[in-house]
Amino acid sequence: MIAGMMNARNLVALLLAALPLAAPAEELTLEQIMADADWLGNAPQSAFWGADNHTAFFEQKRQGSKLKDLYSVDTNDGAIAQVAESNWSSLMRRSAVYSEAGDLHTWAYASDIYMSDGDTVRQVTRTAAGESNPFFMADGKRIAFQRDQQFFVFDPETGLVEQVTDIRFDKDPGADEDFDVLRAHQRRLYEQLRKAERDKDEAREREQSLFALDDGLPAAPIYLGDDLAFEGNSLSPGGRWLLVVTSKKNFDEGKAGTMPNYVTLSGHVETRELRRRVGRNGPAPHALWLIDLETGEKQALGFGDLPGIGDDPLADIRRSAVDHFVAQGEARDKAEKRLKPPEERGVLIWQTSWSSDGKNVALYVRSIDNKDRWIATVDFEDKSLVSQHRLQDEAWVNPYLIEHGWLKDGKTLWFLSEDHGYLGIYTKSVGARRSNALVAGEHVVFDPTLGPSGRYIYYRANVEHPGVYEIWRVDVASGKTEQLTALGGLNDFSVSPDESRLLITHSTSNRHPELYVQDNRPGAEARQLTDTMSDTFKAIAWQDPAIVPVPSSHSEQPIYSKIYVPADHDPAQSYPAVVFVHGAGYLQNSDFGWPEYFREQMFHNLLAQHGYVVIDMDYRASQGYGRDWRTAIYRRMGVPELEDFHDGVDYLAENYGVDRERVGIYGGSYGGFMAFVAMFRSPGKFQAGAALRPVSDWAHYNHGYTSNILNTPDLDPEAFYVSSPINFVEGLEGALLILSLI
């Protein structure tokens, strides 16, 4: 986040020294900006509806502590009360799952399972084991949950908790053993050994027959072998089918990185294990098993029928890499062997979603090379996977937004996709040839949720402006969309259990998230429920930054940017400027909501008080602007972004009186990386820079993030060279401050 700003005093000193101006008489202070954030007031967090449809709950950080307390708020009269800790288990229902009829709900709290009919709370488990992920079986009464990688089912009528799966990663004791000469010799010589073996077989056969004959016993064990590792499992609400995801046991994911930690409670230097470097084998490919719990039959479900699974989307890059390493001195035959494509691309299964009746299941399957995503279903008769939707991207498939599920008919999928170039909502009936665009436009859709009635999918989208996210809904039958809120800023939501109201988390540029309630209809008034921002913060005349569409010289789309100016700004005068680079790469910071970089926003107010113009750009790669904007950095991180910063400086010079000879740049993490790029690859364009916790060489960053954008160092050395600032340090001019965490 912004921990690197703990050294912000150094940054201010650098900027003021490199780009000097007289300080104002009254100003914000670094001490105030960098103080414990409690002074701002602590915003409500993790809000959720109670079962009565008018009480909402939220957590709030306690002043001077990391602990959080639970509060209730009556959405009718706005009364707020702290919830006693003794009542948390019965009221902490953030994870509540409702039955299809809506009359019951279940949730997990403190690794135990609870259920309620809306009035009475019933505790299902009270154990030291970790129980989680409760859901209703297809009958709408029994509850299934997980414990120790197995599934259990609770019957509220009998009170019985039944273990319905017993999957073991061991060799089947009844399987035929490989022939061994010495073992055969011993059996031939000694009758007592033969008898012991017969006794063992009889006991095992008796045990197996008892599992089949005696309903009082738990599920019979099913053995998957000792060469596999557990990755996940999913039980059908009907109770018959179990999906198990595995990987090869002891798969070598590569050596983890390490780092010495000098500031420790022990007083000794301690070593911390860190992320594995990109390309050091990557994640273990997944395998998928379908198990019939009625018969004990197990079947591996191959991925060979997924369209494109046998393709090599990296073929051209692979050939280029061979030429590169041959030029470096490697023998061509060895390079070709090392970089040979797999016969079948490895995949990971990220999620499974069952229809409520348990007759259909959807799997979110993603290729390890990041170029494909499939949503597949299972043909239970043929024991095979059926692709329902394939999303390809020559760069990388968006990994962050994977929501999908089933409509109430249990036969129609809904899911997010970028088929039209922006994140939208699509539907597809199982068996239909094509998907249907339900919500598709030049805007992005976040957090789609099927409402309790199944009539609407609710979502938030930036339709009117890229930086404003209102709450919308779409009628799944007609495709009609309706805007529900008109609050501006950023908005998140949850729908009440009876679907009559929305609980909204709303923020603006200078007000952190607060809770609002609104009737669930277009044009309804939203009423504020909480007001947690401190009077001290409110009393400060914070600047509402302008968000302007900066023209791009490399894209038809503008670069939306926040701009902060001195109070007495006169574009006819000359001003120094600071370019701020947000972190994470794929993040949106130039919007009208409370920023993730809220301390930097306060710091930008301080800079404006000192006479600086500040620009905070949603450069290419940022979230919220569609697929092409997101993937513009593929194989060339730092190049499009720097072009956008040049456009930003030009815009400031032409419209805000900025002196091109007095421009600084700073940021943290990805922003620190870009500060390096700017200082190394644009000599003289930026007179001062600060790189906070920066990445200097992407070959030393993690696999999950980096391989999306740059592939891997062995496969795409050109991309890593172009994108790593360490290769361009000779271009440095001006003052550069490097700040790292310890």
Quickly state the pLDDT bin for 443 (edges 50, 70, 90): very high
* Of 218, 237, 241, 46, the residue nearest 148 (C-alpha): 218
Decide if pLDDT at 544 tops 60.
yes
pLDDT tens digit string along 271-293? 888 878 898 888 999 999 999 99
Q: What's the rounded mean pLDDT across residues 718-729?
A: 98
pLDDT at site 68: 97
pLDDT at site 4: 37
Q: What's the rounded mean pLDDT across residues 338-365?
A: 95
pLDDT at site 10: 61
Q: What's the rounded mean pLDDT across residues 424-430?
A: 98
Q: What's the rounded mean pLDDT across residues 320-331?
A: 96
DSSP string for residues in 62-123? PTTSS-EEEEEEETTT--EEEPPGGGHHHH--TT-EE-TTSS-EEEEETTEEEEESSS-EEE
Q: pLDDT: is 715 or 253 the higher one? A: 715
pLDDT tens digit string along 651-684? 999 999 999 999 999 999 999 999 999 999 999 9
Q: Quote the tokens at residue 667.
A: 């940021």
Q: What's the rounded mean pLDDT across residues 709-738?
A: 97
Give residues with Cβ within 8 angstroms of 485, minimum separation 6.
470, 471, 491, 493, 502, 504, 518, 526
Which uninterrupted H or E stretch holds 275?
Answer: strand 270-276
Decide if pLDDT at 510 tops 60.
yes
* Of 220, 217, 215, 225, the residue nearest 165 (C-alpha): 220
pLDDT at site 15: 58
pLDDT at site 120: 95
Decide if pLDDT at 365 tops 70.
yes
Q: What's the rounded mean pLDDT across residues 12-19?
A: 58
- In this structure, how many other beta carbons lie within 10 angstroms of the beta carbon of residue 329? 6
Q: What percent of the chain has pLDDT over 90?
A: 84
Decide if pLDDT at 23 tops 60.
no
* Of 245, 237, 239, 240, the residue nearest 363 (C-alpha): 245
Distances, alpha carbon 211 to alpha carbons 112, 214, 219, 278, 326, in Å: 28, 6, 7, 48, 62
Residue 569, burial from CB neighbour count under 10 angstroms (0-12, 13-18, 19+) = middle
Give residues with Cβ within 8 angstroms of 628, minimum separation 6.
421
Q: What's the rounded mean pLDDT across residues 678-698?
A: 96
3-state secondary structure of 549: strand
pLDDT at site 6: 38
Decide if pLDDT at 2 tops 50.
no
Decide if pLDDT at 739 tops 80.
yes
Weakest mean pLDDT among 54-63, 250-259, 302-311: 250-259
pLDDT at site 11: 60
Quickly state the pLDDT bin for 326 (edges 50, 70, 90): very high
pLDDT at site 278: 92
Quickly state the pLDDT bin for 181 (edges 50, 70, 90): confident
Weakest mean pLDDT among 78-82, 83-87, 179-183, 334-338: 179-183
The answer to whether 280 and 258 are in contact (CB under 8 A) is no
Question: How far is Cα 665 from Cα 662, in angstroms, rounded to an integer?
Answer: 10
pLDDT at site 12: 55
pLDDT at site 9: 53
Determine the length of the chain.
742
* Of 414, 416, 413, 376, the residue nearest 398 (C-alpha): 416
pLDDT at site 3: 35
pLDDT tens digit string along 376-421? 999 999 999 999 999 999 999 999 889 999 999 999 999 999 999 9
Q: What's the rounded mean pLDDT across residues 564-592?
A: 97
Which uninterrupted H or E stretch holds 598?
Answer: helix 598-609
Decide if pLDDT at 607 tops 80.
yes
Decide if pLDDT at 319 tops 60.
yes
pLDDT at site 64: 95
Quickly state the pLDDT bin for 575 (edges 50, 70, 90): very high
pLDDT at site 160: 95
